[in-house]
Chain A
Amino acid sequence: MSIRHSFLESSARERIYSLLDPHSFKEFCPPSERLVSPHLAQLSLSQAFDDGIVTGSGMLLGQKVLIAAQEGRFNGGSVGEIHGAKLVGLLHAAILQKPSAVLLMIDSGGVRLHEANAGIIAISEISRAILDVRAEGIPVLVMLGGSCGAFGGMGIVVRLCHTVFMSEEGRLSLSGPEVIETVMGRDEFDSKDRALVWRVTGGKLRRALGEADKLVDDDLTAFRDAAGDWLKQHIESGAAPLSYIDLCERQEFFLARCLEFANTKDGREILAKRLSLSEQQWTLANSKEFESSLNKVDVKYTNNPLDAWKEGLQALNEEDQAFADRLFGEGQHQLQYNGYFVVGKAQTQRGPVHVIGTRDRAPIGVDVALKLSGAVLAAISEDQKNASTLPIILISETQGQLLSRHDELLGLNGTLAHVALCVDLARRSGHRLLTLVRQEAVSGGFLSFGMLGDRICALPESQVRVMDLRAMARVTKIPLERLEGLAKHSAVFAPGAENYVLLGGVHEQWTEEQDWTEALASALDHCSAVDERSMLGAERGGRHLAASTAQRVKQQAIAFA
């Protein structure tokens, strides 16, 4: 028997070297270039010469691939300005070079809080870039088996990719168990209960649920073999981008899954239904045994899955009515709402538009997410029938994702990625996407919906943030007074729409005095389907390094090819 080399215990570089053909790896922006994070230095924190991510190109079975690996042991593989920009640059290089595949070894807790605003914008740029790579028919494979798993925004990013391979040790989710426990209490999610954590977020549960495509043993060679087989398959069959029909099928799959496990809070029930094994058997099963005992799932949603979002809609309340009047003019809109979800049609100075979004500082869980995706798919389909492509106004009002063990168990990250894929399909189908940030837009709920707009406008008094400073102080262990002091001079982590404007993550901020119908018309005129946020951040002076770092990786990729 050969010796196993644990994927979990390997470093990012070791993972890359073991995966690719020997001596084929060429690193872009290697450590000797010292692309370190200036934001960590400002907080007197240690830096790494690669900012925690290795990017480059190489061969797998003699086929050219572009590859990136996050180093989970450096700041939890978290995404900051440079870290994120290196990945964006690699993805942009893929669009130019058309490699056989892009391979991503994700090992990340999500946004790096020390540079939170730059981090979440970077994850949004990564998302857009992955969607662009997929649109070119280039397959993207994620390998997950590191100690940090994939959480936060990176949990969404993983599910934007083609294929996900996970080891049992890997984890995939949105909010970490510690965050849910801190906010909602230990009864909701006991983060110390490791077995429970893995039954909710771990590789075996994710595979059984359909959030991962293959379970792989925690072994470098096993990952290499699995990636090689996958690549061979995709060279033969290609990797067509997701179509409207594909996304409708997924919509039904997600809806049916939510219904099937409507009251489930523990992965046990899901594993019992999806496997022909007892708990003791699936606990001990290796990946091969696990794969061969998966039952075939044929989920059907009872009602028409494409109409589910219409259920329970009613006329707007007074406050929302006044808001809509101000945006579109009195009598110029037919909007309805159900709970946190708002939808309808409206007239603007530039003609009719769809309106889809959330209200009442929505915490976004799987239910709300599937209403959003359903409404976006319906807008695409309706316009296709009318041979038009009306703009879609995305109203983003969210306190962030719903903190709930049940929603995490059901793959909230994957469901939010589905919303993002639907919004992206709308863009590719020719719809302009205009985001209006109302009240507040926070983290995951913003990332998967509003942040995908062509143009993002923040309404007066609205807030944009990843986390408030107090929570940030707790997580980063930096005293609150120090963070407050730094926040006065740094747009990079402090909450505030004006900071996102400086960083290029919000295109414009509206004022109370403005005529909003005119502002809306002007914003619609300025919608651009190309992601210009890093250039904007550089121009406005809030984010100097993102654009140039991405460009640098891309240029080295071109020079090497």
Chain B
Amino acid sequence: MEHLNFQLHSTPASQGKKLEVDVLCGIVSSGNLEILVEPVSADSKVSADTCLITIETSAEGFSETWQAVLTQFAESHAVGGLRFTLNDVGATPAVVALRMAQAHEEWCAAIGANR
């Protein structure tokens, strides 16, 4: 298992709203991963334009690939102030990108329904 942490620059998700919703997307199974999306806790010193991503992965030695996939994700989605926690079982970069987008979409839908 490899543990990876990323702090990435992104457009703030909040725009002044409270981000109290969390969402789980995907399943921990071979070639797949689960993603938990939560607001970064209020007492942490992370700024609103930073996205935190934590990964537990069974595929070791791919930190550069993760960096590339996740940087692109953070640039193209408004996920500042959010924390993504991933449990990965060797998902391909394409699957990771898809699940990240899906997780974000589900989180947006949940926060919309919650308002």
Q: Report how far A71 CA is from B1 CA in the complex, Å.
A: 22
Q: Mark B53-73, 1 if CB is under 8 A from A, else 0.
A: 000101000000000000000
Residues of A within 8 A of B113 (CB): 23
Q: Report how far A50 CA is from B36 CA in the complex, Å.
A: 11
Given contacts A32-B36, A46-B89, contact A11 B1 (CB under 8 A): no
Q: Is the CB of A48 within 8 A of B34?
A: yes
B24 within 8 A of A: yes
Closest A residue, CB atoms, query B2? A44
Q: Report how far A75 CA is from B22 CA in the complex, Å.
A: 24
Given contacts A44-B1, A46-B88, contact A32 B38 (CB under 8 A): yes
A510 within 8 A of B: no
Closest A residue, CB atoms, query B113? A23
Residues of A within 8 A of B22 (CB): 30-32
B5 within 8 A of A: no
Q: Report how far A36 CA is from B102 CA in the complex, Å.
A: 23
For the residues of A in contact with B, the DSSP-based class is loop
Q: Is the CB of A31 within 8 A of B28?
A: no
B10 within 8 A of A: no
A49 within 8 A of B: yes
Given contacts A31-B22, A32-B38, contact A47 B27 (CB under 8 A): no
Q: Is the CB of A74 within 8 A of B36?
A: no
Q: Is the CB of B24 within 8 A of A49?
A: yes
B50 within 8 A of A: no
> Which of B1, B32, B36, B58 is within 8 Å of A31, CB to CB?
B36
Q: Is the CB of B34 within 8 A of A49?
A: yes
Closest A residue, CB atoms, query B85? A49
Closest A residue, CB atoms, query B21? A32
> Which of A30, A32, A41, A48 is within 8 Å of B28, CB to CB?
A48
Q: Mark A49-91, 1 if CB is under 8 A from B, else 0.
A: 1100000000000000000000101110000000000000000
A13 within 8 A of B: yes
Q: Is the CB of A48 within 8 A of B87?
A: yes
Q: Determine how close the nearest CB of chain A comes to the CB of B105; give it in whole angstroms.
A: 15
Which of A23, A31, A47, A71 has the most B CB atoms < 10 Å from its CB? A31
Given contacts A31-B22, A46-B89, contact A71 B36 (CB under 8 A): no
> Which of B24, B28, B36, B85 is within 8 Å of A46, CB to CB?
B28
Q: In the complex, which residues 514-532 of chain A have their Cβ closer than 8 Å to any Cβ of chain B?
A: none
Q: Mark A1-43, 1 if CB is under 8 A from B, else 0.
A: 0000000000101000000000100000011100000000100
B92 within 8 A of A: no
B76 within 8 A of A: no
Please classify how large the interface on chain B is, using the bins under 10, 10 to 19, 20 to 34, 35 or more: 10 to 19
Q: Determine how close the nearest CB of chain B comes to the CB of A302; give it in whole angstroms.
A: 50
Residues of B within 8 A of A75 (CB): 28
Q: Is the CB of A46 within 8 A of B27?
A: no
Q: Determine how close the nearest CB of chain A comes to the CB of B106; give it in whole angstroms.
A: 11
Q: Is the CB of B29 within 8 A of A73?
A: yes
Residues of B within 8 A of A71 (CB): 27
Given contacts A13-B24, A31-B24, A32-B38, contact A49 B29 (CB under 8 A): no
Residues of A within 8 A of B27 (CB): 11, 48, 71, 73-74
Q: Is the CB of B38 within 8 A of A46?
A: no
Residues of A within 8 A of B58 (CB): 45-46
Closest A residue, CB atoms, query B57? A46
Which of B27, B28, B36, B58 has the most A CB atoms < 10 Å from its CB? B28
Q: Report how far A330 CA is from B24 CA in the complex, Å.
A: 64
Q: Determine how close the nearest CB of chain A comes to the CB of B56; give it in whole angstroms.
A: 7
Residues of A within 8 A of B88 (CB): 46
Residues of A within 8 A of B28 (CB): 46-48, 73-75
Residues of B within 8 A of A31 (CB): 22, 24, 34, 36
Residues of B within 8 A of A11 (CB): 27
Q: Is the CB of A49 within 8 A of B1?
A: no
Residues of B within 8 A of A30 (CB): 22, 24
Residues of A within 8 A of B1 (CB): 41, 44-46
Q: Mark B95-108, 1 if CB is under 8 A from A, else 0.
A: 00000000000000
Closest B residue, CB atoms, query A54? B24
Q: Is the CB of B89 within 8 A of A49?
A: no
Given contacts A46-B1, A48-B87, A49-B87, contact A74 B24 (CB under 8 A): no
Q: Report how far A31 CA is from B85 CA in the complex, Å.
A: 11
Q: Report how far A74 CA is from B27 CA in the complex, Å.
A: 7
Closest A residue, CB atoms, query B22? A32
Q: Determine how close the nearest CB of chain B comes to the CB of A18; give it in whole angstroms.
A: 16
Residues of A within 8 A of B24 (CB): 13, 30-31, 49-50
Q: Report how far A44 CA is from B89 CA in the complex, Å.
A: 12
Q: Determine how close the nearest CB of chain B comes to the CB of A28; give it in whole angstroms.
A: 14
Q: Report how far A49 CA is from B56 CA in the complex, Å.
A: 12
Q: Report how far A50 CA is from B89 CA in the complex, Å.
A: 16
Residues of B within 8 A of A41 (CB): 1
Q: Determine how close the nearest CB of chain A comes to the CB of B24; give it in whole angstroms.
A: 4
Can you report 23 A-B residue pairs in the complex whose CB atoms are below 8 A from each other? A11-B27, A23-B113, A30-B22, A31-B22, A31-B24, A31-B36, A32-B36, A41-B1, A46-B1, A46-B28, A46-B58, A48-B27, A48-B28, A48-B87, A49-B24, A49-B34, A49-B36, A49-B85, A73-B27, A73-B28, A73-B29, A74-B28, A75-B28
- Which of A's residues lie within 8 Å of B, judged by CB? 11, 13, 23, 30-32, 41, 44-50, 71, 73-75
* Besides A30-B22, A46-B1, 7 new A-B residue pairs in contact (Cβ under 8 A), listed by A number: A11-B27, A30-B24, A31-B34, A32-B38, A46-B28, A73-B32, A74-B28
Ranked nearest first, the 7 interchain pairs of A and B with the lowest CB-CB distance are A48-B28, A73-B29, A31-B24, A32-B22, A73-B27, A44-B1, A74-B28
